Amino acid sequence: MQSKKTNTIHIAFSVHDLSNSYNYINSTAVASAVINCSAPITVHILCDENLNKEKPEYSLNKERYYDLCKKYGAELEFHHVNVPKEYYTFPTTEYLTVGTYYRLYAADVLPAVDKVIYFDGDIIVNLDLIELWNLEMDDYCLAARTDPIFQKLVSQHPKKTYAQYHRLGFTDIMIENYFNSGVLVMNLNKIREKYKLSQLSEEFIFSNPSSLLADQDALNYILGDKYYKLSKKYNHFSYENDIGPDELIIIHYCNYKPWSIIRSNTDYIYWKYASQTRWSIDNPSEYLRNILSVANMTEDGLINYRKYRFCEKLHHLIVILEDLIKHVYNYIIDKMQHKY
């Protein structure tokens, strides 16, 4: 059990399976958060600690998380989360892992933590987290950004969307203030005081097993419009506009993913932080192949170099490689110092 640390920032991520490749993506988000935090920080990984425990990748990935956090002076804790077995059978598991529900249990599995910032794995923190942590939201259970993708859906298909969410029990005000759950500041003390969040969530999810957005729908149904509204800066959707590497912002890659395709400067920021993880240096050749592939620097991409801004991409790749080389060098020096 954790001891209460009022001067410590607590952040949480969900990983359903500690043995799979998603941990590389998630660790990049973790790296960006701990690198950019000027205060003491504890990272909480919410996971199924019993899943695929016998696989060598399970232990290796845990070791990589520990190495990453140790390197940047962060504490790390893993927390086992139990969810109803029925969740595995719901239609949403075709496109969402069961891990997406874990944030709903944060107040239960972090009993000694008063407040936590919850992040999806497809984010990059490019600002000092103390700024988000210190927001005055004591009167609220939750801080979140009103979801622009959902609001666009409402504006384009109002009749269908309102009808669909009315069937789930949403009021018009709740629909108009629907928030995104990818970046949350959770006032766990107030949540425990006002709601049995895990129980209420289960009731909603069991009543609506085909709810398209699962945990997000549940949170919105329970909290309605009674949340602290975060500015776009703290949950900037990557498609909204291109940003530079020095912009102080939290990026949410909520549509196309930079580990699948690179389309803008915003996408290259992801790879800057990916180079700082153990995953990048344990298998550098695979890491480089991934960069070349997603940047369209493969044979097909080079043929269409005008379309994909070849020179611009080459410049970014050089910067990424410099980051990786520095990281590998520092890692080797650190290992040698510990050895001798």
**Can you give the three-state secondary structure of 20-55, one letter per residue?**
CCHHHHHHHHHHHHHHCCCCCEEEEEEECCCCCCCC
Alpha carbon distance 180, 183 (integer Å): 7
Between 125 and 290, name the one with better pLDDT. 125
Asked if residue 304 has pLDDT above 70, the reply is no
Say if residue 155 is in the same domain as residue 217. yes
Hunting for tokens 């969900």 — which residue is that? 14
So what's the pLDDT on residue 311? 62
Asked if residue 227 has pLDDT above 90, the reply is yes
Say if residue 266 is in the same domain as residue 229. no
The whole-chain average pLDDT of the chain stands at 88
Average pLDDT over residues 85-107: 89
In a 13 Å sphere around the CA of 245, the CA atoms on its Cβ side amount to: 10
Asked if residue 323 has pLDDT above 50, the reply is yes
- Asked if residue 281 belongs to a domain, the reply is yes
Which two structure tokens, joined as six digits, stand for 168?
């789930």
Say if residue 21 is in the same domain as residue 128. yes
What type of residue sits at position 100? T
Say if residue 175 is in the same domain as residue 311. no
So what's the pLDDT on residue 194? 92
Alpha carbon distance 158, 205 (integer Å): 24
User: Contact at 8 Å (CB) between 182 and 119?
Assistant: yes
Say if residue 22 is in the same domain as residue 67. yes
Asked if residue 2 has pLDDT above 80, the reply is no
Say if residue 92 is in the same domain as residue 145. yes
Say if residue 134 is in the same domain as residue 229. yes
Between 330 and 88, name the one with better pLDDT. 88
Say if residue 140 is in the same domain as residue 16. yes
CATH number at residue 142: 3.90.550.10
Query: Which residue range(s) make up the domain with 120?
Result: 9-234
Task: Domain count for the chain, please give it.
Answer: 2
User: β-pairing, 236-237 with 142-146?
Assistant: unpaired
Asked if residue 193 has pLDDT above 90, the reply is yes
Alpha carbon distance 277, 66 (integer Å): 11
* pTM beyond 0.75, yes or no: yes
Q: Which helix (H) or strand (E) holds 9?
A: strand 9-15
Say if residue 303 is in the same domain as residue 215. no
- Which distant-in-sequence residues (6+ apart) come within 8 Å of 109 by Cβ? 46, 79, 80, 81
So what's the pLDDT on residue 339? 62
Alpha carbon distance 301, 304 (integer Å): 5
Say if residue 330 is in the same domain as residue 194. no
Nearest CA to 332 out of 268, 288, 282, 285 is that of: 282
Asked if residue 301 has pLDDT above 50, the reply is no
Say if residue 191 is in the same domain as residue 319. no
So what's the pLDDT on residue 325? 80
What type of residue sits at position 271? W
- Asked if residue 246 belongs to a domain, the reply is no
Between 319 and 116, name the one with better pLDDT. 116
So what's the pLDDT on residue 306? 47
Average pLDDT over residues 196-205: 94
